[in-house]
Amino acid sequence: MAAVPKFAPVDHGAVLTALVVDDEAVNRVVLGAMLREYGFIVIEADDGRHACEVCRETVPDIVFMDIMMPEMDGYEATRAIKALLMPTFVPVIFLTAVSDDHLLHRCIEVGGDDFLVKPYSRTLLRAKIDAALRTRSMHRDLAEQRDVLTQYRLRQQRDMEVAKRILDNVASQNRLGVPNVRYALRPMETLNGDVIFAANRPTGEQCFLVGDFTGHGLPAAIGALTAHGVFMSMVAKGFGIDDIVLELNRKMCALLPVDRFLSAALFEMQLDTGLLKVWNGGMPDILVRSAAGRVITRYPSENVPMGIVAPRDYAANVRCATLAPGDQLLIHSDGLIEAHGPGDELYGNARLHAVMDSPGPAFERFDALLASLAQHVQSEPQSDDVSLLYVICDPALAAAAEDDAQPATVTRAPASWRFELELGAEELKSSEPVATVMQVFDTVQGLGALRTPLFLILTELFSNALEHGLLALDSAVKHRPNGFAEYYQQRQERLERLFGATMSIQCRHEPQGDGGALQIRLAHNGSGFDPASLPVQLADNGEFKGRGIRLVRSLCRDLAYEDGGRTAVATYSWAHATARAA
């Protein structure tokens, strides 16, 4: 029967190196012989200073360290070797002839991992080696995992920074840098879960969206990019906030997982008339402060946030009001009132309302609100994104129209074309025909450069036909206190009861010189009127009645009414030179 080796080599997948540090040569020889039987390559050092020199040239897999040595004892040598080999973990087993608890405690204190009492027991030595190498292997695995996680975090941070740059570039397209607007966005992380968008409709109304996505990071950034694209595109095409809300909900339902949604507040404001349209879905109360000096109106959330309810079951309930010159609106995310101060106290509504009711110029109040928040939070870490939008209804602060960096041009050669759109009562209740027709104009003839005048013409013709011809609304209502809100409330109520109404929009385009002539014929089956009773020129905007017809006349080459005022025929001429100036 073959003899079994008394001591099998240590198998850890590679040839290992052991450093034996002892000032007694006999001790080094005895321990070295045992280690070689286990398969180690043995390096010897006769004192701590020599051991440090060895470790500067090579990294041993395990160190056996005597305590009492001249020049540099085992304690000092262990500290030096551990520091020298960082971050690599090399186990150190102290060699001692005594078992004094104080000495053994100091061995661990200076970085030792175990100890072995002389004379050496082969069985105990083997057990100590296996335990030390297992610890060494575990440390290396942890170090590799740490490095992988570090690289992952770095890549993630780079991705977040790229996404932030993209969002910042997108945000630069907003109409937030205008005289009657102040805002603040304070993200908790690199990417903001809160968003503020602003854009002007072709007819000049200021439109805003303040939103708060559940969660942070890349999912919120992707949602923000989508919401920004929908909002900016639809506002530019002239859609109202109710249609924008419905489309945003459809997009959020398709994009976001079931546990994510977008709380948002949208509003549209006409600076010249003070007409305000508001929609709030899941945001804190929108506050309206009068120019006289106190909060007079709150618009609470009356709608479900976007991305929760299926599009077929979703409704956009918009409220209307009339603002007085100097009235101010504040929209904020819940990160403001839930901001934590020392002692975990929330900022709360009481502090917010105290600032909003304070005297002083409007924008000083906005600055005071930010200062109040900073004073409350002090050095406490931010627990949520914070966003604020402050808008003043003041026609004197209306921003001038933006100048494009390059002149806009009609993108297609003038051509002959025509189309007709027939609308019944249901289509008039649920569609935005002006935006649809504008899309056709741009797609067929590339008339996007003329969006503002064409949108104004279409909007005024359509509104006049719908509101006065089919709904029989009286513009005199607008002269009453809060008249615009009352007028649009009547409009909504009568539109919901509309039955048997028809309207057609016929458009025909013919080349003309360096451009073309676009004829728009809009007819309905409602009440007519006598167009001769209205002033011909757009000379006075103080009267609310007939102002739209005068505006259309000022923009068009010709405007005529037929069939007792039930049919309007407007002709708009353009040339490449006028397109560039538009």
Please report the pLDDT score of residue 547 as a whole number.
64
Q: Is residue 472 part of a domain?
A: yes
CATH number, domain of 536, equals 3.30.565.10
Q: Domain check: are 471 and 369 in the same one? A: no
Residue with token string 């003899």? 3
Number of structural domains in the chain: 3
Please report the pLDDT score of residue 170 as a whole number.
63
User: Is pLDDT above 50 for 208?
Assistant: yes
The DSSP element (H or E) to which 571 belongs, if any, is strand 567-575
Q: Domain check: are 215 and 131 in the same one? A: no
Q: Is residue 410 part of a domain?
A: no
Q: How far apart are CA 414 and CA 108, in angstroms?
A: 89
Q: Domain check: are 433 and 496 in the same one? A: yes
Q: How far apart are CA 454 and CA 205, in angstroms?
A: 16
Most confident of 36-45, 442-451, 469-478: 36-45
pLDDT tens digits for range 344-388: 899 999 999 999 988 888 889 999 999 999 999 988 888 788 899
pLDDT tens digits for range 468-478: 899 998 888 87
Q: Is residue 169 part of a domain?
A: no
User: Is pLDDT above 90 for 80?
Assistant: yes
Q: Is residue 12 part of a domain?
A: no
Q: Domain check: are 391 and 437 in the same one? A: no
Q: Domain check: are 123 and 237 in the same one? A: no
Q: How far apart are CA 152 and CA 105, in angstroms?
A: 39
Q: Is residue 326 part of a domain?
A: yes
Q: Which long-range contacts (CB under 8 A, 24 or more apart) does 157-160 make?
A: 157/190, 159/218, 160/189, 160/190, 160/191, 160/217, 160/218
User: Is pLDDT above 50 for 540?
Assistant: no
Q: Domain check: are 391 and 461 in the same one? A: no
Give first-to-last CA distance, the chain, whole Å: 106
Residue 532: how many CB atoms within 10 A of its CB? 8
Q: Domain check: are 86 and 224 in the same one? A: no
Please report the pLDDT score of residue 344 as a whole number.
83
Q: Mean per-residue pLDDT for 379-399?
A: 84
Please report the pLDDT score of residue 347 as a whole number.
93
**Mean pLDDT across the chain, nearest whole number?**
84
Q: How far apart are CA 181 and CA 322, in angstroms?
A: 18
Boundary of a domain, candidates 364, 395, 426: 395
Q: Domain check: are 221 and 349 in the same one? A: yes
pLDDT tens digits for range 483-515: 777 888 888 889 889 999 999 999 999 999 889
Q: Domain check: are 382 and 531 in the same one? A: no
Q: Is residue 158 part of a domain?
A: no
Q: Is residue 443 part of a domain?
A: yes
DSSP structure class, residue 12: S
Burial of 79 from C-beta contacts in 10 A (0-12 / 13-18 / 19+): middle
User: Is pLDDT above 80 for 397?
Assistant: no
4-13, 393-402, 486-495: segment of lowest average pLDDT: 4-13
Task: Report DSSP letters for 232-285, one per residue.
Answer: HHHHHTT--HHHHHHHHHHHHHHHS-TT--EEEEEEEE-TTT-EEEEEEESSPP
**Dihedral sign of CA atoms 463, 464, 465, 469 in order:** positive
Comparing 545 with 146, the larger pLDDT belongs to 146
Q: Domain check: are 576 and 462 in the same one? A: yes
- pLDDT classification of 129: cutoffs 50, 70, 90: very high
- pLDDT classification of 401: cutoffs 50, 70, 90: very low
- The residue segments making up the domain with residue 376 are 175-395
Q: Domain check: are 132 and 207 in the same one? A: no
User: Is pLDDT above 90 for 301?
Assistant: yes
SS3 content of the chain, % helix, strand, coil (to 5): 45, 25, 35
Give the whole-number percent of the chain exceeding pLDDT 70. Answer: 88
Boundary of a domain, candidates 126, 143, 160: 143
216-220, 354-358, 491-495, 544-548: segment of lowest average pLDDT: 544-548
CATH number, domain of 112, equals 3.40.50.2300
CATH number, domain of 293, equals 3.60.40.10
Q: Domain check: are 247 and 363 in the same one? A: yes
pLDDT tens digits for range 565-580: 899 999 999 987 555 4
Please report the pLDDT score of residue 514 as a whole number.
85
Q: How far apart are CA 513 and CA 3, in angstroms?
A: 111
H-state helical runs in 378-404? none
Q: Mean per-residue pLDDT for 521-545?
A: 65
